[in-house]
Amino acid sequence: MTNRKKALITGVTGQDGAYLSKLLLEKGYEVHGLLRRSASADVVDSRLKWIGVAGKIVLHDGNLTDLSGLIRVMNEVRPDEVYNLAAQSFVKSSWQQPLLTGTVTGLGTANMLEAVRLACPEARFYQASSSEMYGLIQEPVQSETTPFYPRSPYAAAKLYAHWMTVNYRESFGLHASSGILFNHESPLRGIEFVTRKITDAAARIKLGLQDKVALGNLDATRDWGHARDYVKAMWLMLQQDKPDDYVVATGRTVSVRDFCRLAFAHVGLSMEDHVTVDPRFLRPAEVDVLLGDASKAKNKLGWTAETSLEDLVSEMVEADLARLKKHEHL
Ligand code: NDP
Ligand code: GDP
């Protein structure tokens, strides 16, 4: 028997799952993760390996769409804290797979809330909500009181999951909190997201492996932070006496174009020589601007973003250069 606190993380193989696993292990937790079955079992834990936690967490077979399996995992683990990070998380894909996105990102959260309610109602629950829920922004700076206006099937699914989390808190007294996290990146960000696509391309172009990269809307702006900082906010939310919802953001918004400039400048290149625009990467409906106000997280959790955008970009480009030189893929 162990007295260590137990955490269960869904989405453990993703970017945030890797950073959160590391944080919780450092804090002495016994960390469990939900793993969906994949034919590519050899690469499924590549982020966990990269960050140095593979083998230190206990993995359980399960899928967000399979309630009985989730209840089984809850009964096996008996977690003190549940972090629901699993999702079909790529906005662009959500137009190509709207029903899958609704099933996993939306109803999957309802499955998780049901599994917690039925099997371990004392567990504290974290829901990975998203700034995408603000979509067509209703206020220039978005806080917990800003009305939502989702602009994609992903955002609509996240909004359902968000309100279900609030509802289970209010209906059943679950200690359920929702973090409305603005975009956060790292060397472990999926290659399809614009930041990683840019840093990987800048590194490839620097190494002579390619010459151009095609992007979509360069004028969109995002409030970009570092995943390593943002998982600390998740943990802090579950340490509070009362569950609540919090915006997590840096308070600075920068265009895709300026992100490119920074990444290419880091390797001594000019984006104007290498970036092209391809309408294939435009979206049916765009979220033009996101800018978060994280004052509540600062005042109540004592949380602030620690990493500057410049440092984030440098870290990502350096990691991509190192990976490419070693012929590694992620
Ligand atoms: P990733 O896309 O890196 O990770 C998603 C995770 O969900 C992966 O582990 C994936 O598993 C898992 N998953 C997908 N479908 C299922 C399923 N049906 N059953 C079980 N697991 C599944 O996301 P991030 O780490 O970047 O984000 C974490 C969460 O935070 C997500 O919910 C995302 O939508 C949300 N979010 C992210 C933001 C960001 O900027 N990163 C901003 C705001 C919210 P597999 O490895 O097998 O694919
Ligand atoms: P999102 O904010 O969750 O949709 O994160 P992304 O990184 O996928 O996209 C951020 C912004 O970059 C959006 O406004 C996109 O339209 C814009 N963008 C411009 N070019 C690209 C591209 O080539 N790929 C992606 N993923 N986004 C792009």
Residue ranges with strand state E in 40-155? 58-61, 81-84, 124-130
Q: Ligand 2 centre from 232 Cα, in Å?
A: 25
Q: Ligand 2 centre from 143 Cα, in Å?
A: 22
Closest residue by CA, ligand 2 atom 28? 194
Instruction: List active site positions.
Output: 130, 132, 154
The pLDDT of residue 231 is: 98
Return the structure tokens found at 267: 């390797």
The pLDDT of residue 329 is: 74
Is the pTM above the cut of 0.95? yes
* Residue 40 burial (10 A CB sphere; 0-12, 13-18, 19+): exposed
Which residue in the block uniquely carries the two structure tokens 């010459």?
211
Binned average pLDDT, 10 residues per bin, the chain of 330 residues: 88 98 98 92 87 96 98 98 98 98 98 98 98 98 98 98 98 98 98 98 98 98 98 98 98 98 98 98 98 98 98 98 90
Q: Ligand 2 centre from 194 Cα, in Å?
A: 5
**Is 91's C-beta closer than 6 angstroms to any atom of ligand 2?**
yes
The whole-angstrom distance between residue 171's C-alpha and the CA centroid of its chain comes to 27
Q: Considering every ligand atom, which ligand is closest to the CA of 224?
A: 1
The torsion angles phi and psi of 101, rounded to 5 degrees, stand at -60, -45
Please name the residues in contact with 216: beta carbons below 8 A apart, sequence gap of 6 or more: 194, 277, 278, 279, 280, 281, 282, 283
Amino acid at 141: V
